[in-house]
Structure 1
């Protein structure tokens, strides 16, 4: 009897150490919108999961909507709330790139875009992998990396961990993948789980197993589906579960085998060799903040003003980079501020427009909108012009914060910097339209649509420019367009250079500049009624789709890329002068100080100045 008791006790101890088998479902890439097909695919998945025995919990790994809008997020939640077991959810790029709330609605509706829980001795961590508002590669923010490191350190090095992101953690998908893998490789990471590619794939992220799962959408099949994971004391087994069918195992990983070690020296890292090739360019100073930065810097009275992802507007000395003060808003700052009359004006995702004293950082005034304020600011003659996500564009007195006028017939949300030209204020929105309003009254003068067929083709991220009676834009349909400034009629539209959302104007207003989506910068004439290319330069920056504008100063054109590169070209010839790689993440529109200096910000949280030590024209 004693032997039987000891045998049973031994088995109980072993089982408690090893943990019992458990199963969970993973849903990803739901892409719910007004379209009933995606909604029905999710509904059927929820119904089948509820009928399946032994599903202990559900993980949802992003792209739960098509356009990141509040209505679609609520529709998804209404279905997920029907699950009989707990679910844990994080966001995807469709919730962060296209988001009327500045990617804040997701957290408000689901509680957070991070999750943390422990099940049968395994820690699960899920977090956003971007990008936020700006079109770029995926990106894990500095604050999310800090959170993840803290949670892992608390859990311990030997216990098993499963990490969940939307994007694959590899080059070409997430620009700072190596920051994540380096941060976690000293821990017992068993796998990264995710989606994004809409099909079942196995990767390794610097040696760490990566499991990418099918979309919930039916695609070309008659039914949709999801993934089921079975965790045993020895293995992680992965099944594809099509609606109405039996699950099919397609992958497995050992939970005992070591797939990687703490040494990262054998894995690819960003290449900074161009900095040796153009060694006359130096970093005068760089401040590494603790938050992502999605707006461009503003220079005013020998200071640099920067808004960040934690909601801070910070003031730095232009000469040294020393922080002078900071002002905290209630949520992330996405739009680029503007400064005039001793006041810095900016919008926040907390639904407010702020006027802050440029010297002291003290609040001068605030104006409350109905939704997030993501638009960049333009100030002209003491009036700040800014758009918000409440379908409203406003003109506000810079000194008092009083509303001068508002236009309430915008159909989409606004993130662009408005253009002031010939008595008009001109801006795009995420509704396919470019608007022209009377600058003094806010009365609508015209709207341009260009027969764009999808919201994602909107001229909404580009900062419009104008010359010779024409307004010039580029849009995600990969076209450059000239529009009559008086009538809103299309003068010409060309797809020849496959540009996207970047445009710049020369100081003499005779030339347009734009990045193509592969390696080159092109220059077009602003004159005439047909597109005329003047030059094209192969800058060799690779595939490029970031909405950072090109800016000319003293005969030099400055530009930047999604992969951390700032470059300079001669304005008249297009000759490449230099390139410098600051990091591996998006550099927003830079601010030139002279022909040899520029101020930059990056999504990885850097603010700094680059200077070319020798330049002769």
Structure 2
């Protein structure tokens, strides 16, 4: 876990207000959401709103529920912090998906800018908590991380006597976008919190929602949106009386608040259930997920994991978002922990294993760390210039890894000696690189992919995304190398590049997720409309072999794997599918969890390991099969 040091005066004042301040109603909140300052007009709107809020003596608290900017450019964070500091009221903010998904730190820059990405304050004796529910990897399902839930539980225990609490999140339970939304009301109820108000955004529409018995208000976007009946820039005003009665009204800039849209009382779960139905979401609750009977083992780590599993010498290794590199014994049925260490900060990606070394990229401090595989003792570290979001790839006895951003290196995995280090692009390295006998190919969050000479690091070619904009970079696309080509993709298109020249042979309808058959003749891609498509890599132009529907939509950027003539694919909704590589026929599908399938890896014994963001690891035989409908789960 990243440790942040706050100024002593702030820390002492925080402890004081939390320890004894009584509830002093009423409480008036200005709820601002989805600022999206991507134009001068929108910048002017937020400045005017801040000026208006500051001038209103009745407002006690300002909540900004994420999406300050548009593409997560560094200058957007600078402006967001400037505007947040300009608010002269008690205030709290959380990151939205537009702060975390599109490179430039992939969720780490918000914490660097604002001091953290989860917060706790007290206003008039009411505890207010801010959680980061936005995904740190592009297009995976949003998720409340296990370390944040543990942190929140600790805070709730400190304030069990509070008359009610307020929680701020960018995502709400509506739309099935927050995979484990039900964990939040569960932890509130578990800790005796009978009354709570949850404020969120993302949908750009003023709404009331039901967090399984707790009311939630979804804030409107700052900008005008007549399609959503928002006739002018604005925000939401909430008034909470001393007895817990709430009124929520839209407030257009420069005009009086409109008549209350919603009026309710905190703790009235019966009224809420009659007014807003959350039952349609309850099918995704943790208790509703049945373990597929075909799974030979299930490991519940109770940690959030944004990477895969590496194997060596009877052990397997993974890294947790809470900051631990974990080694477990794979030879025993209970998979006991052999050792675990904290390299520094939150961890992303799959550890790299070679010989007697296990290697992981750390975020705070930013560095590459090599550990002894036997006991977890640190052997060496190499400084990086930005948080590492992957741990690199081992090939021919060497480690190839991007050093956070802008620089790429080859490292001796035994000693940590840098064999070569070269400039490479102008952005973060998020997805793993691809390495061949002659090339290292990596996507960067700067609209480009780069090919380096494997032995010297010399730049051989670069390819630019045909669509400009940071979000259309190949930064979260793991290149797939064929016999004489490279497949790579962005959020708008996939391409097959000539391995020698980097010239585009042909584009195809796909995104960041793709793979190549074992014989190198077929490319695979996942389309946003939930189709697995196979195409020829030997044809001079795009030639489709098959295209199979399996879902309404699937944006998971994880690579597609082929093992033993079977194509393995994991979805954003926690489902795995196995297809025949000959025809695309679905051989197996199973619901494994409620979060994104982050990685599918094959162990030395041939078992297939499926890793979900919620921290669940499942083992399947490579030949798993059962009769399934040819129709997708829609």
TM-score by length of 1: 0.89
What is the aligned counterpart of 2:198 among 172, 180, 192?
Answer: 192
**2:530 alignment partner in structure 1:** 519
- What 5-or-longer segments of structure 2 have no aligned partner? 1-20, 627-634
**2:514 alignment partner in structure 1:** 503
**1:489 alignment partner in structure 2:** 503
- 1 CA distance for matches of 2:440 and 2:241? 62
**1:590 alignment partner in structure 2:** 600
SS of equivalent residue, structure 1 residue 295: coil
SS of equivalent residue, structure 1 residue 107: helix
What is the aligned counterpart of 1:108 among 92, 105, 112?
Answer: 112
- 2 CA distance for matches of 1:172 and 1:276? 19
**1:216 alignment partner in structure 2:** 222
**1:45 alignment partner in structure 2:** 49
Q: Per-residue deviation at 1:528?
A: 1.4
- 2 CA distance for matches of 1:72 and 1:206? 35
Q: Per-residue deviation at 1:514?
A: 2.1
Q: Per-residue deviation at 1:345?
A: 1.9
Q: Tell me: CA distance 1:615–1:28, structure 2 relative to 1, closer, same or farther (3 Å).
A: closer
**1:88 alignment partner in structure 2:** 92
**2:5 alignment partner in structure 1:** none
- 2 CA distance for matches of 1:222 and 1:200? 12
- 1 CA distance for matches of 2:318 and 2:469? 32
**1:368 alignment partner in structure 2:** 383
Q: How does 1:326-341 map to 2 (within 5 A)?
A: 326-341=340-355
Q: How does 1:20-35 map to 2 (within 5 A)?
A: 20-32=25-37, 35=39
The answer to whether the 8 A contact 1:378-1:419 is kept is yes
**2:167 alignment partner in structure 1:** 163
Q: Per-residue deviation at 1:158?
A: 7.3
Q: How does 1:47-446 map to 2 (within 5 A)?
A: 47-156=51-160, 159-170=163-174, 172-185=176-189, 187-218=193-224, 224-234=233-243, 235-255=245-265, 258-260=268-270, 268-270=282-284, 279=293, 281-289=294-302, 291-320=303-332, 321-350=335-364, 351-446=366-461
**2:6 alignment partner in structure 1:** none
Q: Tell me: CA distance 1:260–1:387, structure 2 relative to 1, closer, same or farther (3 Å).
A: farther
- 2 CA distance for matches of 1:601 and 1:414? 22
- 2 CA distance for matches of 1:273 and 1:489? 50
Q: Tell me: CA distance 1:385–1:324, structure 2 relative to 1, closer, same or farther (3 Å).
A: same
Q: How many residues align?
A: 593
The answer to whether the 8 A contact 1:138-1:175 is kept is yes
Q: Per-residue deviation at 1:277?
A: 11
Q: Per-residue deviation at 1:607?
A: 2.8
**1:607 alignment partner in structure 2:** 617
Q: Tell me: CA distance 1:422–1:292, structure 2 relative to 1, closer, same or farther (3 Å).
A: same
| Cα shift readout 1:181-219 (whole Å, capped 9, x = no counterpart) | 222245223421111112212222224222111122345
Q: Per-residue deviation at 1:592?
A: 2.1
SS of equivalent residue, structure 1 residue 199: coil
SS of equivalent residue, structure 1 residue 74: helix
SS of equivalent residue, structure 1 residue 471: strand
Q: Tell me: CA distance 1:465–1:265, structure 2 relative to 1, closer, same or farther (3 Å).
A: closer
The answer to whether the 8 A contact 2:291-2:591 is kept is no
- 1 CA distance for matches of 2:591 and 2:490? 26
What is the aligned counterpart of 1:463 among 456, 459, 478?
Answer: 478
SS of equivalent residue, structure 1 residue 391: strand
Q: Per-residue deviation at 1:586?
A: 1.0
| Cα shift readout 1:64-106 (whole Å, capped 9, x = no counterpart) | 2323344322221122212222211211122222342342332
SS of equivalent residue, structure 2 residue 284: coil
- 2 CA distance for matches of 1:272 and 1:124? 26
SS of equivalent residue, structure 2 residue 539: coil
- 1 CA distance for matches of 2:515 and 2:270? 46
SS of equivalent residue, structure 1 residue 188: coil
What do you get for the CA RMSD once the two structures are aligned?
A: 2.9
- 1 CA distance for matches of 2:145 and 2:624? 35
Q: Per-residue deviation at 1:223?
A: 5.5
- What 5-or-longer segments of structure 1 have no aligned partner? 1-15
